[in-house]
Structure 1
Amino acid sequence: MIVLPEVPRRAPARATGLGAAVALGLAATVAGTLVPVVGAPVFAVVAGLLLSPLARRRSAALEPGLGLARGVLLQVSVVLLGARLSLGEVLSVGADSLPVMLGTLGVCLLAAWWVGRRLGVTRDLRTLIGVGTAICGVSAIAATTPAIRARSHDVAYAISTIFLFNVAAVLAFPPLGHALGLSPQEFGLFAGTAVNDTSSVVAAAGAYDQDTVGYAVVVKLARTLMIIPVVLVLTALTRRRADLPATSRARLAASLVPWFLVAFLVVAALNTGGLIPATAQAALQQVALLLVAVALAAVGLGTDVPALRRAGARPLLLGLVLWVVVGTTSLGLQHLLTR
């Protein structure tokens, strides 16, 4: 079967949504340059949200391109951020952040179980919100969904809840960090362990200080790896009565390692070997930040704002509690470990 003729049909379908996201991303980048205290990522996501009712009227035409922007383009931006890091720095940051990362992960999952039960949130929904908050937002929800065989409306509620607090983190965490007098590294650890989604981590770190972005991304990528043990445990609990061969578990673990994490490490290795010139590093950094703005514009445009209202108060309240718990745990552990 010849598959090449399908490409021209897909390209125009993606061009409309991708073009809209790129236009908003470019405008947000200009606005972020003029008002750096706000930053391009915030302008992008807010503009996308404001225009989302119009975008949803043409969702069939826009969604293929928006999905590409908030998926592949965001992942490429993370890979490009590796051009300014060395492997020694990656290993050092990952090791230094491990106590805070594991602490926030454990506290969040326990709080999701206990608070969710008290609020009467269903088991699958509280699990999805818990892993989304504790690990990496929508990516963790997507990885967990087949493991626990979650229903589609629970997934939609969880994603809506997680997204709301992603936006809240981008808007609230940078001023909070300045009020607390956090250094760029301290805020990078805070953002990397307390913000849900990769795009929001980059957005919050970029709005705080450009020197914070690389550190926050490394912490977030290390945190993303926690998907593997958590999903494997959830899979074992859900299928404990089924006969799942060990080889299937191994393939499942391998499939959960994000490709962009591997590519990020490869780019960092090239930089460690001196193969990426300093001028190229600066250019790649700017391209990466532009792609982040485009991805966040796509996230905003593709958001079903009414779905946030339909999710009801209890899942949102659980998301709020977990958001506060993770943030305070991250700051508290940093304070205790640096005394």
Structure 2
Amino acid sequence: MKNKVSQFVFFAIGILALLGVLNSPIALLLGFIFALIFSHPYKKESQKTISYLLKIAVVGLGFGMFIKETLETGKEGLTLTFFSILITISLGILLARLLKIDLKLGHLITSGTAICGGSAIAAVAPVIKAEPKTISIALGIVFLLNSIALFIFPPLGHFFNLSQNEFGLWCAVAIHDTSSVVGAALGYGDEALRIATTVKLSRTLWIIPLSILSMFLFKTKGEKIKIPYFIGLFILAILINSADILPTIITDNIVLISKRLLVLTLFLVGTTISFADLKVTGYKPILMAVILWVTISVFALVYITHF
């Protein structure tokens, strides 16, 4: 009986997300509540679905962008992206040693903070031959901070009187995972969403040099580096939209569906966070992740508003 109730609630909230009834923070919050009250009926399936839905949604958002604006945005965020990654990785290596955290766990947390959350962790983990439990802990911590960011960044953006351009840049650099970056920007405005998506995806390409660096740091060889191929589809979607190949009514609807898929993705993210795993880790990995996050958030904010 309990399983049937959990299935009903799970699908009911999912349908509400797809119908556009829920916004990003509410969908994520309902995911948390669901995880606390119910035993997840489709946990493994949800974890796999999150990755696919996010990629489909991001590619769909490309149909609302134009190549000229995208190139300008990517160029604008390049310097900030480089320095933020450099600072995060350097500080992460130092903190892992100072706090005496397992070096592989520390590196995964650092990778997730520096580039793109769960995607970076998933890419780097096999390269450094991390254990499943270590991967799970790193993902849990990064997803928890992502979730907090989704709630606090939009109010902070308004508090600091950030323009949509500035907010899009800030959340693309300071929020770990693409789902939360897009979720936060979604409620701030269309321009913020466009900028945040573009800068975040260009940032994702840094997975490749990070994976190579990880090989040298942990002296591993022969492991495959995962290249985020869906970024190519995102660029293709932008090119199709820029060339006016499809009618506006079609591209507008693709973007609308993509936004709703993102809200559904955030609900699924909330349902898969394991508070039990986070409790077992102790405070040091979480402390490390928070220090990295606050450092990069403050650095990015100062850079955007003063340079």
Q: TM-score, normalised by structure 1?
A: 0.83
Q: How many angstroms does 1:208 deviate by?
A: 1.8
1:194 equivalent in alignment to 2:164: no
Counterpart pick for 2:285 among 315, 322, 328: 315
Offset at residue 214 of structure 1 (A): 1.5
Does residue 41 of the first structure (1) align with residue 21 of the second (2)? no
Q: Which residue of 2 aligns with 1:23?
A: 12
Letter in 2 for 1:176: L
AA in 2 matched with 1:27: L
Partner residue, 1:51 = 34
**Contact (CA 8 Å) 2:170, 2:300: kept in 1 or not?**
yes
- Residue 138 of structure 2, aligned match among 158, 172, 190: 158
Aligned partner of 2:272 in structure 1 is 302
Residue in 2 that maps onto 1:4: none
Distance 1:218 1:265, change over 3 A: same
Q: Hey, what's the Cα distance between the residues in 2 that align with 1:114 and 1:50?
A: 36
Q: Counterpart amino acid of 2:27?
A: A
Q: Return the index of the structure with the highest Cα Rg.
A: 1
Which of these residues, 282, 292, 300, is aligned with residue 330 of structure 1? Answer: 300
CA contact (8 A) 1:25 1:290 kept: no
1:303, CA displacement in angstroms? Answer: 1.6
Query: What is residue 239 of structure 1 aligned with on the other side?
Result: 219
For residues 291 and 23 of structure 1, the distance between their equivalents in structure 2, rounded to whole angstroms, comes to 15
Contact persistence 2:64–2:251 (CA under 8 A): yes
TM-score (norm 2): 0.92
1:1-339 to structure 2, matched below 5 A, reads 23-28=12-17, 30-32=20-22, 40-55=23-38, 57=39, 59=40, 61-239=41-219, 252-253=224-225, 256-337=226-307
Partner deviation per Cα, 1:112-152 (whole Å, 9 max, x = no partner) = 11222222212111111001001000111111111111122
**1:74-109 superposed Cα distances (whole Å, 9 cap, x missing partner):** 110000000011222222111110011111111111
Give % identity: 29
Alpha-carbon distance, 1:17 to partner: 9.8
Residue 326 (structure 1) shift: 1.1
The one-letter amino acid paired with 1:117 is R
Q: CA deviation at 1:22?
A: 5.4
Q: Give ranges in structure 1 of 5+ residues lacking alignment.
A: 1-15, 33-39
